[in-house]
Amino acid sequence: MAATTCIVLGIPVQEGAGRLGCDMGPSAFRTAGLVTELRNLGYAVEDRGNIVPAPQREVRHPNGAIKALPETVAWTEAITEAAYQASGDGMPIFIGGDHSLSAGSMTGLARRAAEEGRPFFVLWLDSHPDFHTLETTTSGNLHGVPMAYATGLKGFEGFFPSVANPLNPQNVCMIGIRSVDPAERAALSTVGVTVYDMRAIDENGVAPLLDAFLKRVAAADGILHVSLDVDFLDPGIAPGVGTTVPGGATFREAHLIMEMLHDSGLVRSIDLVELNPFLDERGRTALLMVDLVSSLMGRRVLDRPTQSYRHTPKAH
């Protein structure tokens, strides 16, 4: 994987979150040594700086709870195009910024996958499914809608950019879910998303759950995107997030996931989202997130045999 050029894109979006501070995330990731760690692992790194949103247009929705809709739409337009362009040049690493950025990253990456004629898969590491539509959100915080938007659920037409290549919900695996609103639960029950909540991890361990998904991706010759939200982790080890939910993934569970992802050879892009440095403790959460990315990109204590689902790209 070291022949890959890592393309770092800062996305200082905070309008989708319920509190301020995520706009400082890209600076915190850089300060925590993300670019240096990637280079130390042998990767060429191109830091393209921070994306700026597209020009805003007047957008209003009947749901009066919705906050910052014009701003979020403008960000989504810019991120979609940046994701598409970067995915043709290397391995995009999107450093946020709140999770609304994934509305753009996933749709841009899905367009690239469609052009390559390969199925697009997403591993969603988060305490929330972010499966609200504009009609169902009651908080109005639009970091709760990106997965519903990217999978083509109804209700975004005329507000968000149209989705030319919707993500197949059956190609989504969510791990670490532990906070789901009723409307999200109802929608998830009908579309075929694979959802592993923390009880599933407690009962089975994370390895067999992730292993089954990675085998599916490899068998389909798929392109895999990983979206890692800080609140996937237990707040005891990652306090720098505005949406803390107790009972999250442990340090070892998180590192095991990253190591398995590296062993698979399947990952083509990464979101790092919801880091709020204002809520962090002396950079503790930023450093942990960079540490996890390092594991995903190949840093390990001991070399281990490659797993049988190690991906060898097919000729196209």
Which range of residues forms the domain containing residue 122? Answer: 5-297
pLDDT recorded at residue 18:
87
Find out whether 130 is annotated in a ligand binding site. yes
Exactly one of 128, 225, 255, 311 is catalytic; name it. 128
Q: Is residue 95 part of a domain?
A: yes
- Give pLDDT, residue 306: 56
Task: Spot the catalytic one: 71, 77, 184, 231.
Answer: 231
Q: Is residue 313 part of a domain?
A: no
- For Cα atoms 285, 289, 292, give the angle at the middle one, nearest 5 degrees: 140
Contacts of 108 (CB under 8 A, 6+ apart): 79, 80, 81, 82, 83, 84, 85, 87
| pLDDT at site 226 | 98
Could you tell me the pTM of the whole model? 0.95
Q: Is residue 150 part of a domain?
A: yes
Q: Residue 305: inside a domain, yes or no? A: no
Which positions of the chain have pLDDT values less than 50? 1
CA distance 302 to 61: 53
pLDDT digits (tens, 9 = 90+) for 62-91: 999 999 999 999 999 999 999 999 999 999
d(CA 284, CA 138): 32
- Does a structural domain hold residue 315? no
Q: Is residue 195 part of a domain?
A: yes
Query: Is 89 known to sit in a ligand binding site?
Result: no
Q: Does the annotation flag 128 for ligand binding? A: yes
Active site residue 231: yes
Domain with 287 in it: what CATH number?
3.40.800.10
CA–CA gap between residue 177 and residue 243 (Å, rounded): 13
Task: Kindly tell me the sign of the dihedral angle through the C-alpha atoms of 235, 109, 103, 80.
Answer: positive
Q: What is residue 300's predicted lDDT score, i.e. its pLDDT?
A: 80
The rounded mean pLDDT for the chain is 95
pLDDT at 10: 98
How far apart are the C-alpha atoms of 196 and 203, rounded to whole Å? Answer: 11
> Which residue of the set 15, 23, 77, 130 is catalytic?
130
- pLDDT 10s digits, 98-125: 999 999 999 999 999 999 999 999 999 9
* 231 marked among binding-site residues: yes
Classify residue 306: in a domain, yes or no.
no
Does any domain span residue 133?
A: yes
Non-local CB neighbours of 40 within 8 Å, separated by 6+ positions: none
Count of domains for the chain: 1
